Chains A and B, each alone.
Chain A
Amino acid sequence: MCRWCRLVAAFLLAGLAGCATQSYRTIDVLPRGAAAPRILVMPPDIELSELTAGGSVEMNAEWTRAAERHLKTAIREHLQRIHASFVEYRAPADDAPEAEILDQLQPLHATVGQSILAFHFEPQKRLPSKKDKFDWSLGPAVTHLAGHADADYALFVWVRDSYSSPARVALQFVAAMAGGIPVGGGVQTGLCSLVDLKTGQVVWFNALKPREEGDMRELEATRRTTAFLLDRMPK
């Protein structure tokens, strides 16, 4: 009997893990020459906020700073565990000529990532020009990164996470008492891409399905979120 239990549990877990993310890749293994391809790890773009009863999202500085550290650590640990060859991005000086381009790549990735999420995963929303192919790119400006760090690919990670304020929690309670009117709590969303630095093409993309779970304020929970995000990343 317990054998069956485990099997069912394993299936359930696999199902849950599968549900947690939606991903796409154009390559399974990064093409390699003499050496393993080098991945440039961009600083994670992450913000943690409080969701107020009124529905506003207010950034929380302490949580955001902690989450930046945790996510950086978790990504590094994950890449070491899968033996990927990687180098971490170091921000150029303010007056460096490439500083401005590099600044704009982070929000560009967020925008492209949201577009992939919006238009790729539901067949009826596919853009006419991209019906059968996964063809998303950050454009030629990305090639500046290759020179910046002598890397072949760049890994971008974007996470937004919100947590219900006490007033929001009280509102959820009142709403439940008042007849089960649903009031949502804080939500974790995130996406990441592996980008070919010669062409700008996104070769692998993965996104968390928005979930009221995961606590990026703690390292252990951040490791779990990171494992979801970087799961099956080609290397």
Chain B
Amino acid sequence: MISRRTFSAGLLACLGGCATHHESGPSSDLPDIGAGYRPDPKSDEAGLWLKLDKVEQNQRRSPGRIRDKPINDLVQDMVCRLAGAYCPDLRPYVIRVPAFNATCAPNGMISIWSGLLLRCHSESQLAAVLGHEIGHYLKRHSLQRLRNSRELDDFAAFFQFQLQGPAAGLIRGLSQDITQASKSMFSRDHEREADALGLALMADAGYAPAACADIWRHIKAEDAAGGESERFDFFLSTHPATTERIDNLDELARRRPPAARPAPDRLNAALGPLRRSFMADEINQGHFKRTDNLLTRLIGDGIDPGGALFYRGELYRRRNRDGDEAIALGNYHDACETADPPAEAFRGVGTIRWRRGETELAREYFRRYLRVAPNADDGDMIRKYLSGA
């Protein structure tokens, strides 16, 4: 069989009207996506969508998907408030990944990571992130980036053939750097656009626009606590510097008229016990300082203080450096005195007191543990402590 992929045959096909090619278009100044939009099956956009459809198929059935009804109902309702007529085109999924992120794929699949939900203090903060992601979808940023990358890489491929002589290697390296920097700048422009559009969408939907900058302040504080100061790189950073984003979002929020009514805040009710399972995942991350910063902030802001105090205690107990046990004990004690203490906080106090030989105090807390969790897995063992063994 004669290869139809040899360049001569391909060239003929190309001269014959590029029949073997999907349809593409400009990489910028695209019209916004329309409600109910589906790409032309012949287009590069359709290929991009199909690729993401396959990812979504897996995500839909993934064991990592969080299926609890209240939080799924809430994010679906929020997406509809934010996206209006585009609501049927967007499909949010809550995914168990203990890191700060959300994505909106070009085909309308929105992924909300559990680490993001843990870091949202209010529904408005979650709306800030969802608005930003929906902004990417409306502006078709993924398609623009695909085309932009293709244009730059194709150009570079041709350009490199022209290079001859001793400086060729240097120029080739330089051209790669320029290509990389162009892609990153293009991406940062999209992020700025999505920030502005996201803020407009969430404020129009009745959310508090100040929340947009707030969530980035949280992240900045965590980064600083973790010893990761701003690592902005002109060539590599796909997102603008966090400081710049905070300033811009603050400025945009100031320009909004004051809200007519208070923003809805159903997040904590919808998360319910899930937030504690996210905290459990968070302390397994091995980012002690970041996690400590996050939990301390949740305690300070009164976001499930019982859970946050208990897991901060767990964080210190597990690190187990000099003095950590005392801090853990203090956090367990504080957790026990909140309105909604985790049962394990009583056990935490009990075991540390027991080890210290404070038997009576330990027994008091073991009793409280069993009162709250009479069917605990380790109930029999705890009763042994009480029976004086």
Interface residue A18 (Cβ < 8 Å from any Cβ of B): no
List B contacts of A62 (CB < 8 A): 22, 41-42, 46
A53-B158, A58-B146, A174-B161 known; A64-B6 Cβ under 8 A: no
A169-B7, A185-B7, A212-B3 known; A94-B153 Cβ under 8 A: no
List B contacts of A54 (CB < 8 A): 149-150, 152-157
CB < 8 Å neighbour of A94 from B18, B50, B61, B150: B61
CB < 8 Å neighbour of B11 from A60, A61, A170, A224: A170
What 1/0 mask marks residues of chain B from 155 to 188 whose CB sits below 8 Å from any chain A CB?
A: 1111001000000000000000000000000000
Interface residue A121 (Cβ < 8 Å from any Cβ of B): no
Q: Are B5 and A212 in contact (CB under 8 A)?
A: yes
- For the complex, what is the distance from the CA of A61 to the CA of B37, rounded to whole Å? 16
| A119–chain B nearest beta-carbon distance, Å | 26
Q: Are B5 and A186 in contact (CB under 8 A)?
A: yes
Extra inter-chain contacts (19) besides given A61-B50, A185-B7, A213-B1, CB under 8 Å: A53-B158, A54-B153, A54-B154, A56-B149, A58-B47, A58-B150, A60-B44, A61-B22, A64-B47, A163-B20, A164-B5, A164-B20, A166-B18, A166-B20, A170-B11, A171-B157, A171-B161, A178-B161, A212-B6
B interface secondary structure, majority: helix
A186 to chain B: closest residue by CB: B5
Selected A-B contacts with CB under 8 Å, 19 pairs = A55-B153, A55-B157, A58-B44, A60-B47, A61-B22, A61-B50, A64-B50, A103-B57, A163-B5, A164-B5, A164-B7, A166-B10, A169-B13, A170-B11, A172-B7, A176-B7, A178-B161, A212-B3, A224-B1
CB < 8 Å neighbour of A185 from B10, B50, B152: B10
B153 to chain A: closest residue by CB: A54
How many A residues touch the partner, as a band? 35 or more
Interface residue A175 (Cβ < 8 Å from any Cβ of B): yes
Interface residue B101 (Cβ < 8 Å from any Cβ of A): no
Which of A's residues lie within 8 Å of B, judged by CB? 49-50, 52-56, 58-62, 64-65, 94, 99-100, 103, 163-176, 178, 181, 185-186, 212-215, 224
Q: Are A185 and B6 in contact (CB under 8 A)?
A: yes
Interface residue B319 (Cβ < 8 Å from any Cβ of A): no
Q: Are B5 and A165 in contact (CB under 8 A)?
A: no
Interface residue B287 (Cβ < 8 Å from any Cβ of A): no
